[in-house]
Amino acid sequence: MEKEPTHGASKEKDANYVEFNLLDRAFMEHPQPVYQKLRSKCPVARNNSALGADQLLLFSHDAVQYALKHPEIFSSKMESGFLGNKDPLIPLQIDPPEQVKYRKILDPLFSHKKMVQLEPDFAILANQLIDAFIDKGECEFNSAFAIPFPCTVFLRLMGLPLEELDLLLEMKNGIIRPDTSDPDEATRMRTQMSERIHAYFEKAIENRIKKPGEDLLSYFVTAEVNGERLTRSEVHGICFLFLLGGLDTVTATLGCGMTYLAQHPEQRRKLVEDPEIIPSAVEEILRWETPVTGIVRILKQDVTLAGVEAKKGEHVTVMLGSANTDENAFPKADQVDFERRPNPHFAFGGGPHRCLGSHLARAELSVAFREIHRRIPEYRVKPGEDPRYAIAIREVQYLPLVFGAGSQGAS
């Protein structure tokens, strides 16, 4: 322990203190046993190693569920975690009931019904990407598919030019995982990047005001909430959040899922033999892998959780991945069952801040796994190589795959 926690009774600190670094790469690679160990020791824990400040960690499904359902106690306002933005991310960093007015105009854009209608377009895109590498007998999956597939969908929806993808990825990565281990330096880098993001969207917004189209950005500048248009700062808040949500999480889920399937051929064959189970396999991959391992909140009042007292103003990390592998909530939680029913996981969070893009993500993931396994039924991690996980969100940044069943790789 490097410094004393700023809050919390010291007598409980020892009993509930856990050694755990959210930014550790070994944890990112195999988080499930870590959750199990920590959860059985402390359903609710304290820790000060990850962000340099005292925080509460919620590991049990009960505690996670409670936090998600009580935004009036567990606030996700800007103070909950610094991402460099000067406008609150909308709707995430606005607490209910005010948040509801934004969800009312954003939810309909991403409804289950609307997203299912996009699936044929997603299938065309997936096949174009597969065409580009299938004959080589191998690919680096992240750059060949996991990044371009959801990011192309996102840019098309937003109405942003595809050639600006690299720039947008650089901006997104600069916020989610700034290239430094020093917290002060990370703050400085995020602030700087946030200004670039603001300047980028300012230009894009101006363009849409002059020449509106059918895209989401045009919708944001013309949409009305209670008879009034969104302010410029509100539009920026939405764009910033969409940049983070739209360009990282499905990439991460595809990478985690394909790594799992490459390493578990008997499970992969179930998808190949019976593509009907793919939607429920997607749910199980989301539960087991939970690429967004945890989300941050700040306490608006004192609270006691699983016997641990916490004070107003304390930071909380709600460990979604641990809740999703909690044996008290999921029978045989440590087994991956592609036909698990029911599967009420929290991979998309829960409560009023439930991931706005969950139905988009599900449609993208189902189509991607279906088309990949239809065309490439056998593959594995390239011999002698290891998948490499990023920190923060579990993106598999390097995933070399070879196709075919033969021991020499491609067949």
Partner 1 sequence: MKVQVDRSICVGHGRCQVFAPEVYTEDERGHCLIEREEVPPEFEEQARLGAGDCPEKAITIFEDEVRESTDTAG
125 is catalytic: no
Report yes or no: 82 and 66 within 8 Å, Cβ to Cβ. Answer: no
Please give the residues from 83 up to 112 whose contact with partner 1 meets the rule CB under 8 A.
Answer: 103-104, 107-108, 110-112
Neighbours of 388 (CB within 10 A): 16
- Report the C-alpha gap between 247 and 267 in whole angstroms: 28
Is 346 among the residues that bind partner 1 (CB under 8 A)? yes
Is 332 among the residues that bind partner 1 (CB under 8 A)? no
The Cβ-side half-sphere exposure at 40, using a 13 Å CA radius, reads 7
Q: Which of 227, 331, 342, 384 binds partner 1 (CB under 8 A)?
A: 342
Q: Which of 47, 55, 65, 251 binds partner 1 (CB under 8 A)?
A: 65
Spell out, one character per residue from 181 to 220, where the chain touches partner 1: x when CB under 8 A holds, - when not: ----------------------------------------
Alpha helices in 177-307 (DSSP H): 183-210, 216-222, 232-246, 249-263, 265-273, 278-289
- Of 139, 239, 355, 399, the active-site residue reads 355
| Cis previous bond, 161, omega within 30 | no
- By C-beta, is 62 or 140 nearer to partner 1? 62
Radius of gyration of the chain (CA): 21
177 is catalytic: yes
Handedness of CA 260, 262, 263, 268 (dihedral sign): positive
- By C-beta, is 278 or 392 nearer to partner 1? 278
Is 348 among the residues that bind partner 1 (CB under 8 A)? yes
Q: Which of 2, 3, 14, 113 binds partner 1 (CB under 8 A)?
A: 113
Is 79 among the residues that bind partner 1 (CB under 8 A)? no
For the bound state, the minimum distance from the C-beta of residue 113 to partner 1, rounded and expressed in Å, comes to 7
249 is catalytic: yes
Nearest to 322 by CA among 114, 18, 99, 9: 18
Q: Which stretch binds partner 1 (CB under 8 A): 118-126, 196-204, 303-311, 351-359?
A: 351-359
- Report the C-alpha gap between 403 and 411 in whole angstroms: 7
355 is catalytic: yes
- Report the C-alpha gap between 125 and 328 in whole angstroms: 40
Is 307 among the residues that bind partner 1 (CB under 8 A)? no
Please give the residues from 357 up to 396 whose contact with partner 1 meets the rule CB under 8 A.
Answer: 358-359
CB within 8 A of 228, min separation 6: which ones?
none
> N- to C-terminal Cα distance for the chain?
53
Which residues sit opposite 299 in a β-bridge?
74
- By C-beta, is 61 or 268 nearer to partner 1? 61
CB within 8 A of 85, min separation 6: which ones?
78, 194, 197, 237, 240
356 is catalytic: yes
Q: Which stretch binds partner 1 (CB under 8 A): 12-20, 165-173, 231-239, 344-352?
A: 344-352
Q: Which stretch binds partner 1 (CB under 8 A): 25-33, 36-44, 65-73, 257-265?
A: 65-73
Q: Which of 275, 351, 404, 409 binds partner 1 (CB under 8 A)?
A: 351
- Of 54, 95, 248, 326, the active-site residue reads 248
Question: DSSP string covering 233-268, please?
Answer: HHHHHHHHHHHHHHTTHHHHHHHHHHHHHHH-HHHH
Size of the site for partner 1 (CB under 8 A): 26
- Of 177, 196, 232, 388, the active-site residue reads 177
Q: Which stretch binds partner 1 (CB under 8 A): 74-82, 163-171, 239-247, 340-348?
A: 340-348
Spell out, one character per residue from 265 to 284, where the chain touches partner 1: x when CB under 8 A holds, - when not: --------------x-----
Q: Which residues bind partner 1 (CB under 8 A)?
A: 62, 65-66, 69, 103-104, 107-108, 110-113, 279, 341-346, 348, 350-352, 354, 358-359
- Residues marked active site are found at 177, 248-249, 355-357
